[in-house]
Amino acid sequence: MEFSSKVALVTGAGSGIGKATAVALAKAGAKVGLLSHTADEIDKAVGEITEAGGEAMAITADVSDEGEMRKAVEALVERYGRLDIVVANAGINGVWAPIDDLKPEEFDKTISVNLRGTYLTLHTTVSHLKKQGGAIVIVSSINGNRTFTSPGATAYSATKAAQVAMAQQLALELGKHHIRVNAVCPGEIDTAINDNTSMRNREETEVPVEWPDGEIPVNDGKPGKSQDVADLILFLASERARHVSGTPVFIDGGQGLLR
Please give the full DSSP string across 170-188, using - where no structure is assigned: HHHHHGGGTEEEEEEEE-S
* Contacting residues for 19 by C-beta, under 8 A, at least 6 apart: 13, 34, 41, 45, 226
Q: Is residue 2 part of a domain?
A: no
Q: CATH code at 19?
A: 3.40.50.720
Q: Is residue 105 part of a domain?
A: yes
> What pLDDT score does 230 carry?
97
Q: Is residue 239 part of a domain?
A: yes
Among residues 61, 130, 128, 118, the alpha carbon closest in space to that of 92 is found at: 118
Catalytic residues: 156
pTM: 0.92
**Whether 162 contacts 171, CB under 8 Å:** no
- Provide the pLDDT confidence category of residue 221 given band limits of 50, 70 and 90: confident
> What pLDDT score does 199 carry?
74
> What pLDDT score does 192 carry?
56
For residue 121, is pLDDT > 70? yes
* Tally of structural domains, the chain: 1
Range of the domain at 102: 7-258
Q: Is residue 171 part of a domain?
A: yes
Q: What are the tens digits of pLDDT across the range 161-179?
A: 999 999 999 999 999 999 9
Q: Is residue 217 part of a domain?
A: yes
> What pLDDT score does 196 carry?
60
Q: Is residue 91 part of a domain?
A: yes
Q: Is residue 190 part of a domain?
A: yes
Q: What is the largest CA-CA distance in the chain?
A: 54
Q: Is residue 1 part of a domain?
A: no
Ramachandran quadrant class, 227 (left: phi over 0; alpha: psi -120 to 50; beta: rest): alpha
Q: Nearest 10 degrees: CA dihedral of 94, 95, 99, 102? A: -110
Q: Using the 8-state DSSP alphabet, how is residue 85 labeled? A: E
Q: Nearest 10 degrees: CA dihedral of 109, 111, 116, 117? A: 70
